[in-house]
Amino acid sequence: MAQKLVSKIPEGPLEQKWTRRKKEMHLVNPNNKRKLEIIVVGTGLGGASAAASLGELGYNVKVFCISDSPRRAHSIAAQGGINAAKNYQNDNDSVYRLFYDTIKGGDYRSREANVYRLAEVSASIIDQCVAQGIPFAREYGGYLANRSFGGVQVSRTFYARGQTGQQLLLGAYASLNKEISHGTVTSYPRHEMLDLVVINGEAKGIIARNLVTGQIERFGAHAVVIATGGYGNTYFLSTNAMNSNGSAAMQCWRKGAFFANPCFAQIHPTCIPVHGDQQCKLTLMSESLRNDGRIWVPKKMEDVIKLRKHEIKPSQIAEEDRDYYLERRYPAFGNLVPRDVASRAAKERCDAGFGVNETGKAVFLDFSQAIQRLGRKKVAERYGNLFDMYEKITDSSPWEEPMMIYPAIHYTMGGIWVDYDLQTTIPGLYAIGEANFSDHGGNRLGASALMQGLADGYFVLPNTIGDYLSHKIMEPKTDINAPEFAEAERAVQARIERLFSIKGSETVDSIHKKLGHIMWEYVGMARDEEGLKKAISEINALREEFYKNVRVPGTQYEFNQELEKALRLEDFFDIGELMAFDALNRRESCGGHFRVESQTEEGEAKRDDANFMYVAAWEYKGKGEEPELHKEPLNYEFIEVKTRNYKD
C-alpha cells in the first residue's frame, strides 16, 4: 500500500525544485489541447483562476458551481489581504522568509518543497492581479501599499480595503468571463457535483445535479479538478458561507482519493461572539484589525462582573486594570501572534472566568489608542467597512467601545491528499486551494489562503496537469454512456430516493446543529482521547437518528434547498468522524490541533516530532469500516525544525 503515497518532490536544491519539475514535464501542443476536456468543480479563487488559465491555454473546460454565479464563491468573503514576497517595503522580506514563516506558522507539518514553490510564485500573483485591474490599496505616490499580518515580522500583505478576497475573486471571475466569451470555457452555475466517475482507475467525469430542474446529469472529461474549498461547516457554526461544504471531497475520498490531516482545522481568534441559539453563521472580523487593535480582558474579576451586568462600560476600565494578555505572554509578536496561539489564549482567559459578555465567551479588541494615535480618518480608511459591519450586526460602535470577539471555526488546513503536482491518489484527479492539504501544515497564516488558491490555479496546476494530459492526446472524448457513469448515476439516484423515503420529523438543520455541538465540544479548541472517542460514538448515533428521522420535503425534480442540505449533511457525518479519527491518532499538539494530553507546564502546545512528523493520509475502506492510515514522512532538508516561539 505504501507505494501509493508518492509525493513526487523533485530532487535538488529547494530553490531549483520547481524549475526542475517544469523542465521535466511533457507539453501538449495547441492543436491537441483543443481536443482535451477538463472539468473544474468550484469557482472560488482556485477554481476560477484554474479554469480561466486552462481556457487561455486552449483546453476545453467545463466549470461548475453551486451558486447562481461563479462570483459568489466564498473566497469573496476573505477580508484582510494576500501575502507576496515582493519586499516593496525594504524590510528584508524574501521568498525564503515567506517560505520560512509559512512552514513555521504551520508548526512544521507541511512540505518544504510545496511551500517554497508557493512563496516563489507569490510575487507573480500580485503582478497578475494588478494587470487584471484589481484596485489594491496605494500610497500617495501611486505605489502599492502593504500591511502586516499575524505570525510574521514584515509587511508583505497586499489589500483592497477589507474586501481583498472579493476583488481577487472578481479578477479571476473576469478572466473566467473572458474565456467563456471566447468559448474555451463552458459555465454550469447552479450545478452540484454528487459523485466522481472513475474508469480503469482514472478520473473521467462527474455526476451532477442541476439545482434548478433537479435532473441528474453526466459530464465526461480527460481530467477532473476539485476546487470546492474546505469543510469548516461540519461544525454548523463557522465563518464559512452557508452553502460551503465538503461533499465533493468526500465523494472523491469514497472513490479512492486519500484524505490528509483532516483534524487540522483553523479556529480564527477574531469573530463576533455567538448570541443566543437562533444563529446559523458566525462573522469574522479580519485579522488585519490586529495590526492596530489591542486585545484585552479586565485584570479584576469585579470589573468582569460589572461588565456582564452592564453596570460599567469597557471604556471606563482604567488602563492599569486591563490585561493585554497577548502582549503579556508573547512580547515579540504581541497582538500579531498566529491564529491558533491567539485563539487558545482567548479560550484560556475565558475559561479562567474573565470573558466579558453574558455568556463569558468574549474578549475585547480595542481601537481607542489607535484612534488617538492615527486619527479617525486614517483608521476609517483602513478598517471603516469592518467597523460598519460590526456595528450593523451588534448595534455597538467600535468608535466608542471596544469590539467583542471570540474564536470560531474558519478554515481547514486538511484536505484531499495531493502530490507535488497537485494530483490526488486517483490519476487524473487534481485538488487545489483549500480543498487540498499541502501548504499550511497544522495552521495557516493570515493572508495565505488567497495566495495559495491563486498560486495553485494560475501558476501550478496549468503546468502540472499538462504533464498528465500529454499522455492522453490519443484518447477520445470520455463516453458518458460507459457503465461506470450509469452505475454512479444509479447510486446518486438511490441516495436521493432514500432521503425522501425517510419522512421523519426532524429538519436537516436541527440535526446539523447537533453535529456542530458534538464537533465543537470534542473536536474543537481542546481535544482529548476520551472526548474524541465520545465524538465518534455520538456522530454514529446521530447519523442513525438522521436516517431514521430526517424530513426532506418536496421532490427531487424541482429547486429544493432542503434536499441539497440533506445530501451535504450526509457527507459532514463522514468528515466529522474522519476528523475525530485523525485527532485521536495524532497524540501531539500541533498548530490548530491541541491535545490536552500534550502541553507544556505553561499550557503551550507540545509537538511530538519523533512520533508525528508525518502527513496522515486516510484511505476509505467501505461503509462502517475504519479508514486505513498511510503515513507520508515529512523531511526537512533545508530548515531547522524548532519549537515555535512567539515570545522573544
Partner 1 sequence: MNFNVKVWRQKNAKAKGHFETYKISGIESDASFLEMLDILNEQLIREGIDPISFDHDCREGICGACSLYIDGRAHGPDDHVTTCQLFMRHFKDGATITVEPWRSAAFPVIKDLVVNRGAFDQILQAGGFISVRTGSAQDANNILIPHDVAEESMDAAACVGCGACVATCKNGSAMLFVAARVSSLALLPQGRAEAKRRVQNMVAKMDELGFGNCTNTRACELECPKGVKISHIARLNREFLKANFRD
Return d(Cα 566, Cα 500) in angstroms, integer.
10
Helix or strand holding residue 541 (H, E)? helix 529-549
Write out the binding residues for partner 1, residues 443-472 only, by CB under 8 A. 458-459, 462
Helix, strand, or coil (residue 64): strand
**Angle at alpha carbon of residue 384, lines to 378 and 386, rounded to 5°:** 135
In angstroms, give the least distance from the CB of 275 to partner 1: 5
Q: Which one among 558, 597, 626, 628 touches partner 1, defined by CB under 8 A?
A: 558
* DSSP label at residue 445: P
φ, ψ dihedrals at 76, nearest 5°: -60, -25
Closest CB 124 distance from partner 1, rounded Å: 7
Spatial separation of the C-alpha atoms in residues 637 and 13, rounded to whole Å:
9
Residue number with CB closer to partner 1 (389 or 496) = 389
CB of 554 to partner 1, least distance (A): 6
Strand residue runs (E) in 235-280: 259-260, 265-271
C-alpha cell at 551: 424530513
Three-state SS at 374: helix
Q: Greatest CA span in the chain, whole angstroms?
A: 77
CB of 446 to partner 1, least distance (A): 17
Cα–Cα dist 209/195, whole Å? 10
State the cell numbers at 218.
Answer: 453526466
Tell me the closest approach of the beta carbon of residue 123 to partner 1, in angstroms: 8
x/- map, 78-117, partner 1, by CB under 8 A: --------x-x-----------------------------
Among residues 243, 357, 359, 470, the one that binds partner 1 under rule CB under 8 A: 243
- Hey, which residues between 125 and 154 contact partner 1 (CB under 8 A)? 126-144
Query: Of residues 21, 161, 218, 339, which has the active-site annotation?
Result: 339
Is 274 an interacting residue with respect to partner 1 (CB under 8 A)? no
Distance CA 355, CA 13 (A): 49
Number of helices (H) and strands (E), helices first, in the chain?
19, 19
Distance CA 531, CA 457 (A): 38
Q: How far is the CB of 173 from partner 1 (least distance, A)?
A: 8
Nearer to partner 1, 134 or 578 (CB): 134
Q: Does residue 283 belong to the site contacting partner 1 (CB under 8 A)?
A: yes
Are the beta carbons of 434 and 414 closer than 8 angstroms? Answer: no
- Nearer to partner 1 among residue 180 and residue 206 (C-beta): 180
Site string for partner 1, 17-56 (x = CB under 8 A): --------------------------------x--xx--x
Provide, rounded to whole angstroms, the least separation between the CB of residue 400 and partner 1. Answer: 18
Which parts of 518-547 interact with partner 1 (CB under 8 A)? none
Instruction: Give me 369's grid cell.
Output: 489608542
In the sheet that holds 191-199, the strands lie side by side as 191-199, 202-210, 216-220
Q: Are strands 363-366 and 191-199 parallel, antiparallel or unpaired?
A: unpaired
From the CB of 122, what's the least distance to partner 1, in Å?
12
511 contacts partner 1 (rule: CB under 8 A): no
Subset of residues 321 to 380 that bind partner 1, contact rule: CB under 8 A: none
487 contributes a contact to partner 1 by CB under 8 A: no
Amino acid found at 64: F
Considering the complex, state which of residue 129 and residue 297 has its C-beta at the smaller distance from partner 1: 129
Which of residues 83, 122, 157, 175 is near partner 1 by CB under 8 A?
Answer: 175
Confirm or reject binding of residue 391 to partner 1 (CB under 8 A): no
Residue with cell 494578555: 325
Near partner 1 in 185-204, by CB under 8 A: 187, 189
Pick from 151, 143, 150, 5: nearest CA to 87 = 143
Distance CA 346, CA 99 (A): 28
Active site residue 156: no
- Which span (280-288, 440-448, 568-576, 590-598) binds partner 1, by CB under 8 A? 280-288
Contacts with partner 1 by CB under 8 A: the residue count is 83
Q: Which of residues 393-412 bind partner 1 (CB under 8 A)?
A: 393-395
Q: Which H/E stretch holds residue 341?
A: helix 339-351
Quick check: 549 binds partner 1 (CB under 8 A)?
no
- CB nearer partner 1, residue 65 or residue 634: 65
Catalytic positions, written as ranges: 339
